[in-house]
Amino acid sequence: MKNLDTGTGYETKPSTYIAALTEVGRGTPMGELMRRYWHPVGLASHATDTPREARVLGEDLVLFRDKSGRPGLVQTRCAHRGTSLFYGKVEEQGIRCCYHGWLFDTEGRCLEQPCEPEGGKLRDRVRQPWYPVQELYGLIFAYMGPPEKKPVLPRYECLEVLAPGEFIDADDTSIGSGGGAIAPCNWLQHFENVLDTYHVPILHGNFSGTQFTEVMNQMPKVKWDNTRHGVKAFSTRTLPDGKVMERTTEVVLPTLRVVPNPFVGGYGRVESIGWTLPIDDTHYRIYTAARVREKGLFLPKGAGAATNRKRWSDMSAEERREFPGDWEAQVGQGAITFHSDEHLATSDHGILMLRRMLNSQVNAVARGEDPVGVSFDPDAEPIVFEAGNFVVDAR
């Protein structure tokens, strides 16, 4: 009998992904978990009297700021006959639809129907679907969940306690280490990457050239642990003087990446928070708020993507193939990666811990409980993270 080929593609089973952890539409398990938290939907500077499209958790929305200064977020399709409010005009009291001029305030109330007798006697019966928004850290946050479950908008110590000369700057241009503003793949691929500590010396230290620093190129020792509101990765690397760099990165539910600066220009507690916003099931983007001393964010613009110190946007397709970074690796996993085909190994322990935690919280919400990290106490203390880069003596 002739030796048969083994392991060929012909033997593989149909591929599947874990829908309960990846899909974010209303009514899906993860979509309902996501809708129990506030999410950034734009920079504060995006909310102006020019309407701006925002797609969030699979919903098409329009962000604006009325001429009285109130930010508003409404569903795109006008409640009258469905045209897009993106073409509307912003006024003192709200946004006016281009088609028949119905005027909606920031809470979706219909204030005028100019084509109707007496400006619309039944206009109070119409409500343009809207979401509550709040401004903080240079961002506009929206709550898209059940109104009776609306938590307070959390505050974070790393963005509240500033050293002299520091201020908060917000950014929406890139994933952490470079890439386009919108990544065409599922949000969880990015979120898991934060706990994928071992990819740093391979992807960022070898394939991309030295994308961060020489020390970050070292193969670290890593331990993962659950925290009160997420999972942390604790890694150590030896510095040239024999001391040890201890680095902690955290993921915090629902989507926060709490990652100290990988360029490690100095040591101390984490300088920024990145919110991984699921645009829909197959796109995400990152909003970042950081403590800075100079405008333009704490990361050198595009430096992470800039193998050969070129910005990601200036790299050719061939350069991106030759020097891939986070963008290429995560988008390369596919629109929604096939979990059925993975072979998770010991270095993926943090990813398993995160999936377990997300699963438990999806189930908690399905049982009618509140997920971790939501607070209804308006006087809640700012949340403190462990994340940071620190130097210690060799133990």
Which residue ranges make up the site for ligand FES (CB under 6 A)?
A: 78, 80-83, 97, 99-102
Give the residue with the Cβ less far from ligand FES, 82 or 265. 82
Residue 72 beta carbon to ligand FES: minimum distance, rounded to whole angstroms? 16
Interacting positions 8-67 with Fe ion (CB under 5 A) = none
Nearest to 286 by CA among 204, 362, 189, 145: 189
CB 49 within 8 A of CB 67: yes
Give the residue with the Cβ less far from Fe ion, 128 or 249. 249
Residue 132 beta carbon to ligand FES: minimum distance, rounded to whole angstroms? 22
How many CB atoms are located within 10 Å of the residue 204 CB? Answer: 24
Give the residue with the Cβ less far from Fe ion, 97 or 175. 175
Residue recorded with tokens 């003596």: 393
Residue 52 beta carbon to ligand FES: minimum distance, rounded to whole angstroms? 18
The DSSP secondary structure of 107-168, one letter per residue, reads: T-BEEE-TTSGGGTTTGGG-B--B--EEEETTEEEEE-S-GGGPPPPP-BHHHHS--TT-EE
Cis peptide before 254, with omega less than 30 degrees from 0? Answer: yes
Q: How far apart are CA 260 and CA 211, in angstroms?
A: 15
Q: Which residue is nearest to Fe ion (CB)?
A: 326
Q: How far apart are CA 144 and CA 251, in angstroms?
A: 21
Judged by CB under 5 A, the number of residues near Fe ion is 1
Question: Which of ligand FES, Fe ion, none does residue 326 bind (CB under 5 to 8 Å by kind)?
Answer: Fe ion
Residue 254 — left, alpha, or beta (φ > 0 → left; ψ -120 to 50 → alpha)?
alpha
User: What are the Cα distances from residue 279, in Å, to 36, 96, 182, 285, 352?
Assistant: 16, 26, 9, 7, 24
Give the residue with the Cβ less far from ligand FES, 81 or 321. 81
Question: Which of Fe ion, ligand FES, none does residue 80 bind (CB under 5 to 8 Å by kind)?
Answer: ligand FES
Residue 291 — left, alpha, or beta (φ > 0 → left; ψ -120 to 50 → alpha)?
beta
Residue 125 beta carbon to ligand FES: minimum distance, rounded to whole angstroms? 15
Q: Would the CA dihedral through 155, 46, 32, 329 be positive or negative? A: negative
Question: Which of ligand FES, Fe ion, none does residue 137 bind (CB under 5 to 8 Å by kind)?
Answer: none
Give the residue with the Cβ less far from Fe ion, 114 or 332. 332
Question: Which of ligand FES, Fe ion, none does residue 271 bind (CB under 5 to 8 Å by kind)?
Answer: none
Question: Which of ligand FES, Fe ion, none does residue 78 bind (CB under 5 to 8 Å by kind)?
Answer: ligand FES
Residue 130 beta carbon to ligand FES: minimum distance, rounded to whole angstroms? 15
3-class SS at 105? coil
Give the residue with the Cβ less far from ligand FES, 83 or 313. 83
Interacting positions 314-333 with Fe ion (CB under 5 A) = 326
Six token digits for residue 84: 């897009």
Residue 128 beta carbon to ligand FES: minimum distance, rounded to whole angstroms? 9
Question: How would you label 230-247 residue by residue, b for 16+ Cβ within 10 Å and e otherwise?
Answer: bbbbbbbbeeeeeebbbb
Residue 62 beta carbon to ligand FES: minimum distance, rounded to whole angstroms? 12
192 binds Fe ion (CB under 5 A): no
Residue 76 beta carbon to ligand FES: minimum distance, rounded to whole angstroms? 11
> What is the binding site for Fe ion (CB under 5 A)?
326
